[in-house]
Amino acid sequence: MVTAFLFFFVSLLIFCTTESLLVNITILQSAVAKGAVCLDGTPPAYHLDRGSGTGLKNWVISLEGGGWCQNVTHCLQRKNTHLGSSAKMGKQSAFSAMMSNDPKYNPEFYNWNRVSVRYCDGGSFTGDVEAVDPGTGLHYRGARIYKAIMEELLAQGMNTAQNAILSGCSAGGLATILHCDNFRALLPKSAKVKCFSDAGYFVDLKDITGKAYIEQYFNDVVTLHGSAKNLPPSCTSKLKPSLCFFPQNVAQQIQTPLFIINAAYDHWQVRNILVAPGADPKGTWTSCKADIKNCTSSQLKVLQVFRDKFLKTLEGLGPSSTRGYYINSCFSHCQTQQQVYWFGPNSPRLFNKTIAEAVQDWFLDRHLFRQIDCPYPCDKTCVDEATYIISSEDI
């Protein structure tokens, strides 16, 4: 059994590596003078693979994810990792799935300029605190990082873009929603500009004990990072800033076309919003959180209620002539970053469309894809996420 697993894992690693393009890191030293730095004060970074042929004037920007830090202790923990310091980042990043340069794996965007913006601020690129605590040396400058890298990319040719997409997964997917309209404002009026958020639609729901854990958590993030002035004013003019960290309170006002990719049973949200830290002291949910197939019938009922509430927040956005969504019933998180989810013979399908095909149809205005999967366990196209998680930092 162990030998078989090791063989499979090695085979998978070889598969993931051979289908990925390794792209060198660019450390943006000039950003330091603008105060645009990571948590530890090092310069921000990105990876760029240049487009070619028909894609020379097309750009897809991917904002890296990786959670948040909501207090000094957690930010100090991140400070010495690649999520808080460019000095700790790998020299190369593996581009696959929506970042692949191979049309077999990425039929629409393979020859575009593809950029991965590294995440090292812990606040979804929204923070801007001038003061630096001399005791911790922590810098909360995510909004400055975003601005500095966008200015760099505009100078690299994005200022003449014909087509452009801002995207991201998880905390990067949330950042995509929060920055969508200001990204549109940076580019030529003649350009087609759209945003798609992968696993970034975090919902404001109470946990299994009835506690508003995630609401308090996001309030702490916004307060610590000084994010309020960088959140959409269309929301902050009506609600307290921390509530404007929730897409359900922001997405309705976004003018730029937005596509939302999310699992209705997003496992990060199940593990951190529904069954929040401290909400399950006896570990009753441990096995269920690890794999939805392990959930008891009573736990599945709770998950179905969570799904219903998630969908209600989505429906609450109201009608839109440009907003699309792809909501499947896989127990997953971040589906545009892994080839097996994005586009392939065994990829998940919703109304017989892979995620790549749905995004492609929406971007090209062929079809305003708006589909929601049936409840678990009816979708038989989902893949076992635990089998496929290999981060680019590990390759």
pLDDT value of residue 367? 87
pLDDT value of residue 17? 42
Check if 47 is active-site: no
Q: Decide if 132 contacts 38 (C-beta within 8 A).
A: no
pLDDT tens per residue across span 270-304:
999 999 999 999 999 999 999 999 999 999 999 99
**Average pLDDT in the chain:** 93
What is d(CA 162, CA 92) in angstroms, rounded to the nearest whole number? 28
Exactly one of 49, 121, 198, 266 is catalytic; name it.
266
What angle is formed at CA 393 by the lines to CA 327 and CA 89, rounded to 5 degrees?
A: 115
Exactly one of 333, 347, 373, 392 is catalytic; name it.
333
Per-residue pLDDT band for 384 (boundaries 50, 70, 90) equals confident
Per-residue pLDDT, averaged over 177-204, amounts to: 98
Tokens of 253: 């006002």
Per-residue pLDDT band for 386 (boundaries 50, 70, 90) equals low
Q: Decide if 343 contacts 278 (C-beta within 8 A).
A: no
Check if 333 is active-site: yes
Q: Is the full-model pTM beyond 0.85?
A: yes
Q: What are phi and psi of 12, to 5 degrees?
A: -65, -40
Q: What are phi and psi of 183, to 5 degrees?
A: -65, -45
Check if 82 is active-site: no
Exactly one of 20, 86, 100, 170 is catalytic; name it.
170
pLDDT value of residue 385? 60
Residue 393 has pLDDT above 80, yes or no: no
Residue 388 has pLDDT above 70, yes or no: no
Q: Which uninterrupted H or E stretch holds 46?
A: strand 45-49
Residue 136 has pLDDT above 80, yes or no: yes
Q: Which uninterrupted H or E stretch holds 116?
A: strand 113-117
Q: Decide if 75 contacts 123 (C-beta within 8 A).
A: no
pLDDT tens per residue across span 15-70:
444 468 999 999 999 999 999 999 999 999 999 999 999 999 999 999 999 999 99
The DSSP result for 322-391, as a single string, is S-EEEEE--S-S--SSSHHHHSSTTS--BTTB-HHHHHHHHHTTS---EEEPPSTTS------HHHH---
pLDDT tens per residue across span 88-126:
999 999 999 999 999 999 999 999 999 999 999 999 999
